[in-house]
Structure 1
Amino acid sequence: MAPLRVINDTVSKRPNFLALPIEERKDVSKDGSFIPQIDGSLKWMSADEIKKEQRKLKARNWFFDRPVDFHLYTRKNPKKSQKISANNAKSLKKSNFNSDNPTRNIIHGWYNNYNSDVNTEIRKAFLEVMDCNVISVDWSQRQHVALLDDLHVIGHSLGAHVSGIASRNVIAGKVHTIIGLDPAGPLYEDYSSSIDECLTKDDARYVEVIHTNGGRLGYLKPIGNADFYVDGGEYQPGCLLKSSWICSHLRAFWYYSDAIGENRFTSKKCTGYKFAIVNQCLEEDNEVQLGGAMNYELASGVYYTPVNAVQPYGMG
């Protein structure tokens, strides 16, 4: 039995298959993948079953058939949103939206909405450090103009891929930055050749990806201009064994929320993601930090980021 590590009275253990080469791990093989269910459980699906589900999604044009609501928050209304209608310019003019301020769009993941933690925590962090427009995109039910130079789109899980889709459909120019918070892996990783809704580094001028549960609920391989593998990018310290997949997957937006305000996630440059997973990387790069405000100028390639088991998570 693998040894247990105790972190602040929380027991965590890395499964034995982490010692196997990546190609030999069942949960990232081309034979199938674990797929999250409505009740939060995981179900193993074969490659043929996954391809069938993908065909269903594409036939229904799933992403674009859903209604979308936009909830605007500013320093004038940091807690109560102003609802913006997608096809009503008057609602934007009557709101607190300020085109002179930078805009940050936050897109939630599967079975979440605009009031989920990913939105509330990141929104609070942004409004504490800058005067900006924060728009929580609610596609749980799916032309306003913002300056692309000041537009950052932040998406968690499935929302990370939605961020890529939305950004690549901008008619003129490119979104400045996309932050992909542990982009969804099931139905995507190892099946990207049969589905075109996956986030890529070409979807914005700069795409940063934060990996926290890669190969399970999250995407394991690098897909951004800069990919940060937190504590190896698969399991996060402090997460209980039984719920480690969900816990590790959700940690991505908690780390990013901390990084917005404190920016203390110093990282190491790696020669590849397989080295990042096992922390066989170079010395710390004091200029590049997970979620760093200047990463679009400084960061490229793959990084390993150490973290604490409890807040404050950053160790820099």
Structure 2
Amino acid sequence: MLLWQCLTPLLLFIYLQVCKAQECDEFTDLNLGHAFIGTDVDVRLLLYTRENVSCGHFMSHTNLSAQTQFNASRTTTFLVHGYRPTGSPPGWLQNIIEQLLARKDMNLIIVDWNYGAANVNYLKAVENTHKTADNLTAFVKMIQKHGISPSSIHMIGVSLGAHISGFVGASMNGSIGRITGLDAAGPMFTGKPADERLDHTDAQFVDVLHTDIDALGFRAPIGHIDFYANGGTDQPGCPKVIFAGGSYFKCDHQRSVFLYLESLKQTCVSRAFPCSSYQDFLDGSCVDCSQFGAAGCPAVGYDAVEWKDALLKLGQTKSYFSTNSASPFCTTNYKVDLLIWNKEMRWGYITVKLRKGENVAVASIEHSATKFQRFTETKLFAQFDKDIRSAVSMSLKFTTGNAFKPKYKLRVLRVRLTPVNSTEKPLCRYDLILEESKEVTFKPIPCEESDF
């Protein structure tokens, strides 16, 4: 009994030490009260690795050797959030932690600057980005002294976090390996010189994803490659009226995060097409990506760095892609070429469907009316909501959008469907009559050699 009484305090001490060692440090959770009062900058760095995917460990700003979970042989990624007007943690945070670590064995450091970002006064939060960047720069310089090369660092910044990443990169003289900006904040940064915002000179490779350029995001290209989803403005599936509440204001802006998440999961790959304008992209004027060789058009998101060398040679590149309204967001792209017989010119819109079993993929080419002219090949760009390979049937529908005029017909001498970024051969069909607003279904066949 006496022995047990002596051992009990020792066992209790060991148990408490083990529990203490297993404690997790969590992202700062604030509320509207904090935001109304205003918060001063307090940067907390939380380390996640494959050994502790769901348990963050607080990192010392001055003593790297005390952080046993940090592995200097791995690359290091910093994730920097943006403005937090309600003070709550980002709802997507744990998801992106899990997906990043699933893709690569890394040191993932969450930069928690919620004290500083949580403020109803946006101007104060903008001011705090510089203080946060100074703090983070000091940390990067500290780990550099421990043998961590800046070129092995990837910084992912959301909204204001994109500019924080840029400030750090500029302070490191552009030696950071990569900076990814997810809809870099526009208000208070638009029109500012390069040293007062994220810029392509801030890292060896800068890729930027734009989803809300007409409101909360930054409009102009600022990276080595700038990806504009659906032109960078209204995102499919996001509310169009203010009565939708908070989602109306933040849905387009946050879509950048969810598109990036999908690129990590690799459930499907969105390809972007370098182009001078969104209209040219929709018109199919920019589907040639031969400048990138066998790799084809750049992938949006995490894997964009695979095109780094080609993009650095090309210079700053604007690129466009379309998405669906929900995950999977990626579309499948085809060129559709129509040759008609009608003597009189026709204007209208084309909807294409591909079928295989119960699966149906739809592409509505309706961004603007298309001119159809006799013996002149009309080139269209079709973006299908699903990827259906080796379709067994195809449908076409011609509409004019004018309910008060007589119904027209298109006599199609040939329709050719050519996949973009695929080695599949084109499919054709010959001599079809399209009555306005009536869907015509047929079996496509391999194109004749003269139609390639």
**TM-score using structure 2 length:** 0.51
Distance 1:151 1:275 in 2: 36
Equivalent positions of 1:115-194 (< 5 A) are 115-141=89-115, 142=132, 143-145=142-144, 146-170=148-172, 174-190=175-191, 192-193=192-193
Closer, same or farther: CA 309–90 of 1 in aligned 2, 3 Å: same
- Aligned match of 2:320: 304
Equivalent positions of 1:12-161 (< 5 A) are 66-92=41-67, 94=68, 96-111=69-84, 115-141=89-115, 142=132, 143-145=142-144, 146-161=148-163
Equivalent positions of 1:179-258 (< 5 A) are 179-190=180-191, 192-193=192-193, 196-241=195-240, 242=242, 243-258=247-262
**1:114 shift after superposition:** 9.7
Aligned length: 249
**1:66 shift after superposition:** 2.4
Distance 2:280 2:215 in 1: 18
Q: Does 1:282 align with 2:286?
A: yes
CA contact (8 A) 1:226 1:301 kept: yes
Distance 1:152 1:70 in 2: 15
Cα deviation digits, residues 164-216 of structure 1 (max 9, x gap): 01121127x600110000000011113x14x9431001000111010000031
Closer, same or farther: CA 217–284 of 1 in aligned 2, 3 Å: farther
Q: Secondary structure at the match of 2:231?
A: coil
CA contact (8 A) 1:104 1:133 kept: yes
Distance 1:90 1:114 in 2: 31
CA contact (8 A) 2:45 2:110 kept: yes
Q: Secondary structure at the match of 1:152?
A: strand
2:239 is matched by which residue type in structure 1?
L
Q: Secondary structure at the match of 1:76?
A: coil
Range with bigger deviation, 136-145 or 229-238: 136-145
Cα deviation digits, residues 98-121 of structure 1 (max 9, x gap): 111111110000017894235323
CA contact (8 A) 1:207 1:226 kept: yes
Q: Secondary structure at the match of 1:126?
A: helix
* 4+ residue segments displaced more than 6 Å: none
Greater RCO, 1 or 2 (C-alpha within 8 Å, sep 6+): 1
Over aligned residues, Cα RMSD in angstroms? 2.6
2:213 is matched by which residue type in structure 1?
G
Distance 1:252 1:298 in 2: 24
What are structure 1's unaligned runs of at least 5 residues?
Answer: 1-37, 40-61
Distance 1:279 1:104 in 2: 38
Q: Secondary structure at the match of 1:209?
A: strand
CA contact (8 A) 2:276 2:318 kept: yes
Closer, same or farther: CA 280–287 of 1 in aligned 2, 3 Å: closer
Q: Which has the larger radius of gyration?
A: 2
1:264 is matched by which residue type in structure 2?
V
CA contact (8 A) 1:125 1:261 kept: yes
**1:225 shift after superposition:** 0.8
1:219 is matched by which residue type in structure 2?
F
Cα deviation digits, residues 24-80 of structure 1 (max 9, x gap): xxxxxxxxxxxxxx98xxxxxxxxxxxxxxxxxxxxxx9xx8221111000000011
- Aligned match of 2:269: 264
Closer, same or farther: CA 179–163 of 1 in aligned 2, 3 Å: same
Closer, same or farther: CA 281–267 of 1 in aligned 2, 3 Å: farther
Range with bigger deviation, 155-164 or 305-314: 305-314
Q: Secondary structure at the match of 2:196?
A: coil
Distance 1:144 1:114 in 2: 29
**TM-score using structure 1 length:** 0.71
